[in-house]
Amino acid sequence: MKKTFYVTTPIYYPNDVPHLGHAYTTIAADVLARWNKLHGNEVFFLTGTDEHGKKLANTAEKAGKKPKEFIDELIPEFKSAWKKLNIEYDRFIRTTDKDHEKIVQQILQKCYDSGDIYKGEYEGLYCVACEAYYTEKDAPDLICPIHEKPLEKLKEESYFFRLSKYQDFLLDLYKKNPDFISPKNRRKEITNRVKEELRDFSISRTSFDWGIPLPFDKKHIAFVWFDALLNYYSATQSSEKLKKFWPADVHIIGKDIIWFHTVYWPAMLKSAGLSLPKKVFAHGWWTINSKKMGKSAGNALKIDQLISIAGADSARYFLLREASFGDDGNFSEEMLIERHNNELANKLGNLISRVSTLAEKYSLQEKKGVALLPEKLKIQIGEHMENLEFDKALHIIIKFIDQTNEYLQDKKPWETHDSNVLYESANAIKDIAILLWPFMPETSERISKTFNFNISLEQLNAPLKISKIKKSEILFKKI
């Protein structure tokens, strides 16, 4: 039976066009989805937009539009950005989708019925940019630590979710499922915070109406995070054939939203009697001059700008190669160009161009039992992919490209015209292209056309079939 694999990105606030930070998570999810497809798994890859809440209502108002009207204009920007980056998601969910709204109300009702929701009054601090509550302990100077903007003071009637009740449950969950919070260092951080204090959180607002009404008290609308997190569940309930994907294998998120995903989210699910996701992986931030890249900081690189540097596949490659997935990375155009030139144009591009040119002239000859790529390396790559260590997986592939280039340098088939050597190199190219496909699908597909193989696991494990090969077009232009 086929294994199922369900991967998600956060749903992004469509208050502006998407930027490199959003692309990072979405590319990573696409890479994992493709890696799983390559392995014959049945994949559901979900992304989308988080459309309710104060932040969106304010932004739309400033633009002189109704929230839905304002957002509808931005959705094509997200969809076309993902298309340009070669991202193949299965559903783009919007929290204004009717099927989602219905599920949110159902779950709210379930939590209410289980006694986990009660009415009270919220008095405290709020950051609209985060759509999050703060205490004076988290923000003693009343400034949001992430957005560096003054916090709003709120005082209003509100329903609360009994998070405090779930302290033991959460600690037990982290202990029994060490990968639930990944990477490791984040688990310690969250565990300590949960041990320290777990307060009930406010889940409804009455001072504006852009949201989903609580089913048991319609003058309240659901707190945007309660609504948003449920997208991961509601997307699997919209048709019978999607139900089997629940719960998610991995929620990929940025470290800014780890508390919501590893504390609120499992407690909400437990309260509603639903099963829990297997893993939440929080990656680091892309910074520019040590400042988090984003709309609020005014330093965001838009998707078109990112692609214009060296193309979509080079951008995908760079983002996953440059920084370890759990750590921050400093973005620079120079570094992207350097990796594009040195690793993609010089190493990979030259290998393809050299071997395809010679293969067109001298043809290949099959040599039995030869594979340049050791089994051990394939296993290591698989382990790194399992752990979302994309940089390490790419490192091994690039090293293998180096070895293949060295092998050619050593055997000099352009002097010897040795068709066995050419065959071995073409075989190595097949393996490289298949392993690189999740990262650079367009490039790999071009290579597969030149050397006439399919991108599949069977082809990775089988020798290349001899065929007529034509010189490849240039894959990466040096910049």
Catalytic residues, by residue number, are 19, 22, 127, 130, 144, 147, 292, 295
Give the total of residues touching ligand MSP (CB under 6 A).
21
Name the residue nearer to ligand MSP (CB basis): 47 or 158. Answer: 47
Pairing mode, strands 4-12 and 42-49? parallel
Contacts by 218-226 with C-beta closer than 8 Å and gap 24+? 220/157, 220/158, 220/159, 221/52, 222/52, 222/104, 222/108, 224/50, 224/52, 224/53, 224/54, 224/55, 224/131, 225/131, 225/132, 225/260, 225/264, 226/104, 226/108, 226/161, 226/264, 226/268
Q: How far is the CB of 21 from ligand MSP (least distance, A)?
A: 2
Q: Is the CB of residue 365 less than 8 Å from the CB of residue 466? A: yes
Helices (H), strands (E): how many in the chain?
20, 16
Cβ proximity to ligand MSP: between 287 and 405 the closer is 287
Min separation Cβ 139 and ligand MSP, Å? 18
Stretch of residues binding ligand MSP (CB under 6 A), selected from 8-16, 119-127, 233-241, 267-275: 8-16
Interaction residues for ligand MSP, span 368-427 (CB under 6 A): none
Closer CB to ligand MSP, 292 or 354, in the complex: 292
* 421 exposure class (CB count in 10 Å sphere: 0-12, 13-18, 19+): buried
Shortest CA distance to 324 belongs to which of 409, 249, 390? Answer: 390
Q: Alpha carbon 132 to chain centroid distance?
A: 22
Q: Which is nearer to ligand MSP, 74 or 173 (CB)?
A: 74
Segment contacting ligand MSP (CB under 6 A): 5-13, 174-182, 205-213, 345-353?
5-13
Checking phi first, is residue 440 left (phi over 0); if not, alpha (psi -120 to 50) or beta? beta
> Cα 263 to the chain's mean position, in Å?
20
Positive/negative CA dihedral, 249, 264, 53, 210: positive
Give me the least distance between CB of 55 and ligand MSP, in Å please: 9
Site mask, ligand MSP, residues 248-287, x = CB under 6 A?
A: -----xx-xx---------------------------xx-
Strand order in the sheet with 201-202: 132-134, 117-127, 152-161, 201-202
Whichever of 25 and 182 has its CB closer to ligand MSP, that residue is 25
CB of 227 to ligand MSP, least distance (A): 9
Window 88-127: contact mask with ligand MSP (x via CB under 6 A): ----------------------------------------
The encoded tokens of residue 94 equal 């919007």
- Min dist CB 365 to ligand MSP, Å, is 48
The one-letter code for the residue type at 142 is L
> If residue 376 lies in a helix (H) or strand (E), which one and from where to where?
helix 375-386
> Applying CB under 6 A, which of residues 13, 35, 161, 201 lies at the interface with ligand MSP?
13
205 binds ligand MSP (CB under 6 A): no
Beta bridge partners of 157: 121
Of 48, 294, 311, 441, the residue at the interface with ligand MSP (CB under 6 A) is: 294
Residue 211 CB, shortest distance to ligand MSP, in Å, is 13
Question: What's the burial of 377, exposed, middle or buried (CB within 10 Å: 0-12/13-18/19+)?
Answer: middle
Evaluate whether 473 touches 446 at the Cβ level (below 8 Å): yes
Give the range of 66-74, 118-126, 292-300, 443-451 binding ligand MSP by CB under 6 A.
292-300
Beta carbon nearer to ligand MSP, 54 or 292: 292
Query: From the list 46, 103, 107, 229, which residue makes contact with ligand MSP (rule: CB under 6 A)?
Result: 229
CB of 4 to ligand MSP, least distance (A): 21
The first and second tokens of residue 73, run together, are 């204009």
Question: In this chain, which of 33, 43, 46, 228 binds ligand MSP, going by CB under 6 A?
Answer: 228
Query: Least distance to ligand MSP from the beta carbon of 218, Å?
Result: 24
Q: Which of 11, 222, 351, 433 binds ligand MSP (CB under 6 A)?
A: 11
- Stretch of 228-236, 336-344, 358-366, 434-442 contacting ligand MSP, by CB under 6 A: 228-236
Residue 21 touches ligand MSP, criterion: CB under 6 A: yes
Residues comprising the chain, all counted = 479
**Taking CB under 6 A as the rule, does residue 364 contact ligand MSP?**
no
Minimum CB distance to ligand MSP smaller for 21 or for 277: 21
Give, in order, the Cα–Cα distances in Å from 268 to each of 192, 350, 431: 20, 53, 44
SS3 call for 73: helix
User: What dihedral angle (degrees, nearest 10) is formed by the CA atoms of 342, 348, 351, 353?
Assistant: -100
Four-point Cα dihedral 81, 86, 89, 92, nearest 10: 10
Region from 9-17, 36-44, 101-109, 459-467 binding ligand MSP, contact rule CB under 6 A: 9-17
Contact with ligand MSP (CB under 6 A) among 6, 7, 10, 205: 10
Confirm or reject binding of residue 293 to ligand MSP (CB under 6 A).
Answer: yes
Residues near ligand MSP (CB under 6 A) are 10-13, 21-22, 24-25, 50, 228-229, 231, 253-254, 256-257, 285-286, 292-294
